[in-house]
Amino acid sequence: MSRIVNGRLRAATAQDCGDLVRLWGLLFGDVAATTNEPWRQHAAGWFTRLVDDADNARFPVIEVDGAIVATAIGTLELGVPNPYCAKGRTVRLMNVITLAEHRGHGFATTLVLDVLAWARSVAADRVDLSATPAALPLYAKLGFTMTSAPRMKLVL
């Protein structure tokens, strides 16, 4: 386990589920607070299934004084090999969050670097993410580039 400024980086465990679901809820602000809560149960079940599956997911957390104050998620997605992803192995980086009172200590950078190291260890071709405008400088600093592919979704 690495030591970082005022915090400790470690892999999440099943016991961290409640704390992580609460942190993930902060990413969605008022939407998480005003929508039905089934997403939290689904998120907890999903996390519980993947937390110990190091071949398919990585859940780094940073603790300060024994409390989780930052986290990120990396999941391996298998797709069709193509010119942009020769092996078809893409890591999706998501849910990078640091509690507001703990920002500015490099925790997000530490978490992203942890997921990138894991992505290399599972022989991923690339790492994809969606970012808020405020987070773009962090990802650019780490070598991420904007793509020309528009992102669309259909909610079922």
25-53 pLDDT, tens digit per residue, is 998 876 655 666 788 899 999 999 999 99
CA 71 remoteness from chain centre: 7
Range of the domain at 112: 3-141
CATH at 35? 3.40.630.30
Q: Is residue 148 part of a domain?
A: no
Residue 136's pLDDT is 93
Q: Is residue 9 part of a domain?
A: yes
Angle between helices 17-26 and 38-50 (to 10 degrees): 130
Query: CB burial class (10 A; 0-12, 13-18, 19+) of residue 113?
Result: middle
Q: Is residue 98 part of a domain?
A: yes
Residue 6's pLDDT is 76
Q: Is residue 154 part of a domain?
A: no
Sequence-separated (6 or more) residues with CB below 8 Å from residue 35: none
How many structural domains are present in the chain?
1
pLDDT digits (tens, 9 = 90+) for 74-124: 999 999 999 989 999 999 999 999 999 999 999 999 999 999 999 999 999
Q: Is residue 150 part of a domain?
A: no
Q: How confident is the model at residue 153 (pLDDT cuts 50, 70, 90)?
A: confident
Residue 93 φ/ψ, nearest 5 degrees: -95, 130
